[in-house]
Amino acid sequence: MSKRIGMEIAFAAAEAVALCRPDVIAAYPITPNTHIPEHLSDIVAEGRLDAEFICVESEHSALSACAGASGTGARVFTATSSQGLLYMQEVMPIVSAMRLPIVMAIGNRAISGPINIWNDHSDIMVQRDMGWVSLFSANGQETVDMVVQAFKIAEHRDVMLPVNVNLDGFQLTHVVEPIWMPDQQEIDRFLPPYEPYASLHPDHPLSMGTLGLPEIYNEVMMARNTALMNSKKVILDIWKEWETLFGRRYEPIESYKSEGAEVLLLTMGSMGETAEVAIDELRREGIAAGLLKLKLWRPFPFEELREAVAGTKVVAVADRACSIGGPGGPLFAEVRSALYGEPERPIVVNFMIGLGGRDVMVEDFKKMIKKAARAKHVRAECAYEIYGVRGS
Amino acid sequence: MSTAKKQPMGFIENFDLYAPKLVEKEEFFTSGHRACQGCGEALAIRLMCKALGKDTVIANATGCMEVISSVYPTTAWRLPWIHVAFPNAAAVGSGVEAGLKALQRKGRIPDRRVKTVAIGGDGGTVDIGFQALSGAMERGHDLLYVCFDNEAYMNTGIQRSGATPFGASTTTAPAGEASFGNKTGKKNVAEIMVAHNVPYVATACHSYPLDFMNKVKKARKVKGPSYIHCLSVCPTGWRVPSEACIKMGRLAVETGVFPLYEVENGKYRLTIETPEKLRPVNDYLKLQGRFRHLSPDQIQMFQDRVNLEYSKLMNKVKHSRSWLDM
């Protein structure tokens, strides 16, 4: 039976990881994800989890150790943030190419410079094309649920890819929330022990991570892309199963008061919850505004996005990262590209907000939505603004 | 130094003559790989695998050995083998070791000891992989790390590494009008591993195959970290004929440029006795294109460095005691 508890979300994420019975955890400290591995090491030290906890000397080694351990057929977990994730970068595409089902929690944080420990999504956006499944959580409950789901998605024979679960640094990692924590029996029923497709053992020697010449590289890339695109079906099935077991529904894009909306705000991560309040107030003011919350970043839910925005006039995309010198925020670019082929498409505008932990209030969302409602079709590079810049 | 010159008398006196017959016939690093002719590193790996035996998992850093042995869909490895990237063989090895340990404890794989061995070239060990190596050794994994040191980034075209010897001409530390090539001495990673309190550290060379294999076997037995630094002659990068590979390794030892020793729990021991008076380094240098440009003065500087390093080592051989006796 699930139990309702009040707990810091990072701790709750660690408890959820422990319920999944990982064999190896390798992590290196960096704010703000640190409480996750800290609490996991507590759980191991208390004897509640039988796992090897490797205190590696860097994030590069954290993911590398995960690769080695996953190669042996162990269930592995790591967590990081910001510069740590960037330091892992070299290994990020390799583990997805090697089809190693590693699960990683990312306490999202701005990347330097200037050095800044607070939340935005610039760390994970750098990893956009690394071939991982990428989930975005909006609150503590979703974090706990997604961490467990992530292992099942990653290890599914039709997926066999690493999965990252994104939770906003501080806004989520350091916040105490009421959470329904599943119990061990429930998780054991949901998540069977990991049966690796291939593993490193002398009884069946094999080579992992071999050299791919130009004659094979294209085909490998095709296979990787196909695997990631096909993972959506598995993710949807697993989310359906989760809903049956736990009664909590997950969708690639969650809609809030979007029916009949003329302006839709699209968010990722925790700010969706603040935006809900803004939508409520705007609706009371008689403005037909609605909200979309993206939970599945990779594979990108093109179909669900098109369905979600059908009939609306304007989509205001809230990005928590910049694509400097590019067409706007990374989410914005994706949305525009997803809608480009549609005969009837809404105007898409972009606000880059909450960068480096800058607070985004209900009033800010209301202002953005009202401004978006007046928007006209413009070129991509004219359709974005970094919201709330002082002195502008 | 050749064992063939000895008169076949008793088995014990001529152990070196018989010992090769005792070497495992089974090949775990097979022929058909794409190494250059006369590659010392490929030979060393083959010998290492024989000494390690079947119950081994290899984590390989990016470098010559990964490139020549694993062109998809072929592989030269008959041992379970994983390659991830350049700087992280020791970290990947740490993960392999931890994974095997956990799975064995939980009864998910057979209950017998499987040794994890991480390997890399000098670049992947003394430079870009140094942090991962230090971390893995400090954490005390049951992991053997073997560095196959051919003294430059040979895979990418003979660029200077932290293990390149003084005076060698490389493609990024070339000799020219205003330079005599590499200006720094070789980083002594074996010593640094001793400073990590690693219980077994050794230097080795493929030109002394039994010595090398014995060290690998000893290191394999250690239930914890161990480190072997194996000088691996690269005829391509050293600019020597491919048939000179074994000879160059022998000369490196006989001149004292690369002494073969082991450090067991802090106690130093020369495993290949060098002659009372070392051969002059020029016997070794003059055969190699990478040192061709050195003037007599520079050769003397090289000699002075070797003399000093050798004296430092002999001082430790004479005076060190095992930690176990303290």
Domain covering A3-246: architecture = 3-Layer(aba) Sandwich (3.40)
Please check whether residue A154 is in contact with residue A101, taking contact to mean a CB–CB distance below 8 angstroms.
Answer: yes
Q: Which residue of A has its CA nearest to B97?
A: A69
Distances from the Cα of B220 to the Cα of A117, B50, B101, B216, angstroms: 44, 12, 16, 6
B47: distance to nearest CA of chain A, Å? Answer: 18
pLDDT at A382: 82
C-alpha A77/C-alpha A155 separation (Å) is 12
B28: distance to nearest CA of chain A, Å? Answer: 10
Please say if the pLDDT value at position B241 is more than 80.
yes
pLDDT at B10: 65
Please give the full DSSP string across A297-346, using - where no structure is assigned: EES--HHHHHHHHTT-SEEEEEESS--TTTTS-HHHHHHHHHHTT-SS--
Pick from A69, A201, A208: CB nearest B95: A69
Q: Which residue of B has its CA nearest to A215?
A: B72
Question: Given this chain, do its domains A3-246 and A253-386 carry the same CATH topology?
Answer: yes
Structure tokens given for B183 = 């200006």
A–B interface: beta-carbon pairs under 8 A: 176
Domain span at B307: 37-325
Please check whether residue B132 lies inside any domain of the structure: yes
Q: Which residue of A has its CA nearest to B71?
A: A211
pLDDT at B52: 98
Please say if the pLDDT value at position B7 is more than 80.
no
Pick from A71, A94, A204: CB nearest B96: A71
Please say if the pLDDT value at position B23 is more than 90.
no
- Per residue in B89-148, pLDDT tens? 999 999 999 999 999 999 999 999 999 999 999 999 999 999 999 999 999 999 999 999
Pick out chain A residues at pLDDT < 70: none
Please give the full DSSP string across B100-152, using - where no structure is assigned: HHHHHHTTSS-SS--EEEEEEEHIIIIITTHHHHHHHHHHT-SEEEEEEE-SS
B161: distance to nearest CA of chain A, Å? Answer: 21
Domain locations in chain A? 3-246, 253-386
Pick from A55, A60, A70: CB nearest B87: A60
**The CATH number of the domain where B295 resides is what?**
3.40.50.970
Pick the CATH number of A253-386 from 3.40.50.920, 3.40.50.2300, 3.40.50.11540, 3.40.50.300: 3.40.50.920
A93: distance to nearest CA of chain B, Å? Answer: 10
pLDDT at B285: 98
Please say if the pLDDT value at position B1 is more than 50.
no
Domains: count for chain B: 1
Pick from B57, B84, B109: CB nearest A64: B84
Q: B55 and A61 in contact by Cβ < 8 A?
A: no
* Res. B21 pLDDT band, cuts 50 70 90: confident
Question: What is the dihedral angle through the alpha carbons of B263, B267, B271, B272, rounded to the nearest 10 degrees?
Answer: 100
Please check whether residue B316 lies inside any domain of the structure: yes
Pick from B70, B92, B102: CB nearest A74: B102
Please check whether residue B131 lies inside any domain of the structure: yes
Residues of chain A contacting B101 with CB distance shorter than 8 Å: 52
Does residue A213 sit at the B interface (CB-CB below 8 Å)? yes
**pTM over the 0.90 mark:** yes
- Per residue in B245-275, pLDDT tens? 999 999 999 999 999 999 999 999 999 988 8
Structure tokens given for B145 = 């790390």
